[in-house]
Structure 1
Amino acid sequence: MKTVLITGANRGIGLEFAKQYDAEGAEVIACCRHPEKAEALAALDVRVERLDVTHDESIARLAASLGDVPIDIVISNAGVYGPEEQSTERISPAAFLDTMRVNTLGPLRLAQALKPNLLAGREKKLALLTSKMGSISDSSGGFVAYRASKAALNMVAHTIALEWKKDGIMVALLHPGWVRTDMGGPGATLSPFDSVKGLRVRIAELSPKTNGHFVDYLGREIGW
């Protein structure tokens, strides 16, 4: 039985990951900031852990709670869209930094803390949910904090892929598409089920050959 850890698992794409892996029979460790409010997770046969990726103490507590539990797949999904006002002319520096802390530093800190667990797992896969909006070569402007945080996450993930391949750890940079979630909004073109179904295929087929690639849920390469 594979063990999968998912962050931001209380709603949206993270919750759908938990549902699908649980239905498959995987051992799921579902992480969120407020487990006591995660009613949808409580209905699943999953282990729920408290985690705030912006706090080192929270990440350390999670690592201590897990101990030496082997983890096959870590899915770093927790993220924010950033402040409502984030044009290049008007953006709060504090809000910009908050976006970076969640979307960029959070996944890096988590990967560092859980590397021993990944090394103990069979699959040794780290999947980071990024966005096409982090592509510099395909940018239309706007939403500077979100775009910058995802572009920075791409560099972090690609660097991990290069540096940790000697340890057998493989990294996927995954764009989920425009998904109908609280972040994507009701007008989005893709359901969480269909997005996650595709993302799980990408994770399953992750290999040394595709390590560090930036792809969407259908496997299409995205320019940096």
Structure 2
Amino acid sequence: MSILITGANRGIGHALSRAWQSSGTEVIQTARNSPGMEPLDVADPSSIKELAERLEGQPISTLVCNAGVSLDKFDELETGYAPELWAESFAVNVTGVFLVIQALLPNLRASRDAGIAPKIAIIASQMGSQNSPAGNRFIYRASKAAAINLGRNLAVDLESDGIAVGIYHPGWVATDMGGDSADLTLDEAVPGLRKQIDELTLSETGCFKSWDGSDCEF
């Protein structure tokens, strides 16, 4: 069994990597520029293609699409939310998720053919829910809403392929992205998040769950 995690150099991705590694699971850690990790810039299609070429023929049982950016934390409606922030955010949080999944489908299918049920975990956010608007952070919210929608639709297409897709809200976690005021520590959130991903099956494909197993609003 082999797990690939994007954005594994810090925060939730790094903590998930350590958790799985501690149980003896092989983890392929990817990041833009971190020693000892597979180089991957999810916003660069050529980087994604190169990763797929390096991993050709290697089964991947779980693909965790964790890499993400939050670029509009302090923007004001009247003066902020520049076009380039929209472009970069969607390139990482949405397009990058799709292109990584697309490129590594052969690896997921190789896991299925080896008798291990493959799965995809998309780390999204309840901030992308259509049913709980709270204003501000428009770029981040819109990109996570798109990621949730992407996961739901991929689940439909990939079900016949035997590949389960889960979408997860990791909670508001104290990381570089989450900030010091967050509700949860990594030690609190990651074990639950890992459990949800480990327990994902085709019977729940398309689910949107929180780190604690509760259902999230779409």
Shorter-chain TM band = over 0.9
Residue aligning to 2:217: 223
Q: 1:110 is matched by which residue type in structure 2?
A: V
- Counterpart mapping for 1:51-62 below 5 A: 51-62=40-51
Residue aligning to 1:50: 39
- Counterpart mapping for 1:186-197 below 5 A: 186-197=180-191
Distance 1:215 1:207 in 2: 13
Distance 2:202 2:53 in 1: 30
Residue 106 in structure 1 maps to residue 106 in structure 2: no
Q: Which runs of 5+ in 1 are unaligned?
A: 37-41, 43-47
Distance 2:174 2:144 in 1: 19
Residue aligning to 1:45: none
Distance 1:84 1:76 in 2: 22
- Matched residue pairs, number? 213
Deviates more, 1:78-87 or 1:160-169: 78-87
| 1:84 Cα deviation from its structure 2 partner | 4.2
- Counterpart mapping for 1:17-166 below 5 A: 17-36=16-35, 48-89=37-78, 90-121=80-111, 122-166=116-160
Distance 1:97 1:34 in 2: 21
For residues 139-196 of structure 1, the C-alpha deviation after alignment (integer angstroms, 9 at most, x for no partner) is 2111000000000001111110001100000001000001010000112121112211
Distance 2:150 2:130 in 1: 15
Distance 2:74 2:173 in 1: 22
Q: 2:64 is matched by which residue type in structure 1?
A: I
Residue aligning to 1:12: 11
Q: 2:52 is matched by which residue type in structure 1?
A: A
User: Any idea what SS the aligned residue of 2:140 has?
Assistant: helix
Distance 2:21 2:203 in 1: 28
Distance 2:72 2:62 in 1: 31
| 1:209 Cα deviation from its structure 2 partner | 2.0
Q: Which runs of 5+ in 2 are unaligned?
A: none
Distance 1:131 1:91 in 2: 19
Distance 1:194 1:212 in 2: 25
Distance 1:158 1:27 in 2: 27
Residue aligning to 1:39: none
RMSD: 1.2
Deviates more, 1:81-90 or 1:24-33: 81-90
Distance 2:135 2:203 in 1: 32
User: Any idea what SS the aligned residue of 2:203 has?
Assistant: coil
Q: 1:64 is matched by which residue type in structure 2?
A: E
